[in-house]
Structure formats: C-alpha cells, structure tokens
C-alpha cells in the first residue's frame, strides 16, 4: 500500500504515533488514494489511540493543513461525480426487478431499505 508501514517503523515508535510518522504515512498515500480514504485512515488511527487510552500527539490544525494540501494531489480516477439520490420511485423500480425468494436479492433489498430509512 505505502512505503511507510509497520514493517519499516521500529515497534518502539508504533504508539503513541509521532506526528512525523503520521505525516510520512499520509504523504506516501497522497496522489494514490482519494482524500476521503486517506482521511479515514488518519481518523482510524486517531480513534485507535483514543480507544486504547494512548495519547494522541498530532496537532489537529497541522493534520487538517496536511489533508487540505493533499486534496490537490488526488488522482482524477479516484473521484466520482455526484449522482442523484435514491428516491421511492427508484426503489419501487428495483423491487420490481428483484426476485425476493432469492436470498441474495432479499439481502440486497433489505440493505437498501435499511439504508434508505436510516438516512431518511
């Protein structure tokens, strides 16, 4: 995935993560992954530290600056254009084309309905 992995960072420096290692990790992904993916990785690392009561030593203002700068390196192929949201008519149309006696189709439709009504 990236050149900064747990295999080339000494174990003694795994936690708490230092800001320089976090910067290197984020920087190695810039230009290869979408901004959202990289942000999710970073916030996942932060959540792991919080969950394990390990100090989070990365200044948030610096991280936000790094993430904002990285947006300009995002490859075009990693972004998708916005599309119209699913409406009731779309769901009714999908329902008409699904065989709900099939476990796979029933699961797909159930997930769609759960997501739709959870967001609505």
User: What sections of the chain are H helices per DSSP?
Assistant: 19-29, 35-51, 60-70, 88-97, 103-119
Stretch among 21-25, 54-58, 62-66, 81-85 having the lowest mean pLDDT: 81-85
Residue 57 included in any domain: yes
Residue 4 included in any domain: no
Residue with tokens 């797909």: 108
pLDDT of residue 78: 64
Residue 93 included in any domain: yes
Same domain assignment for residues 74 and 98: no
Number of domains in the chain: 2
Residue 27 included in any domain: yes
Structural domain range at position 104: 88-119
Residue 58 included in any domain: yes
Residue 83 included in any domain: no
Is the pLDDT assigned to residue 1 strictly greater than 50?
A: no
Q: Contacts from 78-86 at CB under 8 Å and sequence distance 24+?
A: 78/33, 78/34, 78/37, 79/34, 86/112, 86/116
Residue 2 included in any domain: no
Can you tell me whether residue 12 is helix, strand or coil?
helix
The strand pairing partners of 62, in sequence order, are none
């Amino acid at each position: 995935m990236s050149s900064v992995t747990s295999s080339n960072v000494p174990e003694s420096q795994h936690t708490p993560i230092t800001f320089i290692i976090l910067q290197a990790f984020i920087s190695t992904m810039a230009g290869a992954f979408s901004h959202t993916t990289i942000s999710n990785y970073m916030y996942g690392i932060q959540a792991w530290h919080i969950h394990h009561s390990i100090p989070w030593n990365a200044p948030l203002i610096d991280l936000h600056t790094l993430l904002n700068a990285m947006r300009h390196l995002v490859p075009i192929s990693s972004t998708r254009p916005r599309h119209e949201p699913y409406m009731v008519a779309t769901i009714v149309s999908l329902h008409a084309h699904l065989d709900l006696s099939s476990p796979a189709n029933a699961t797909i439709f159930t997930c769609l309905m759960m997501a739709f009504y959870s967001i609505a």
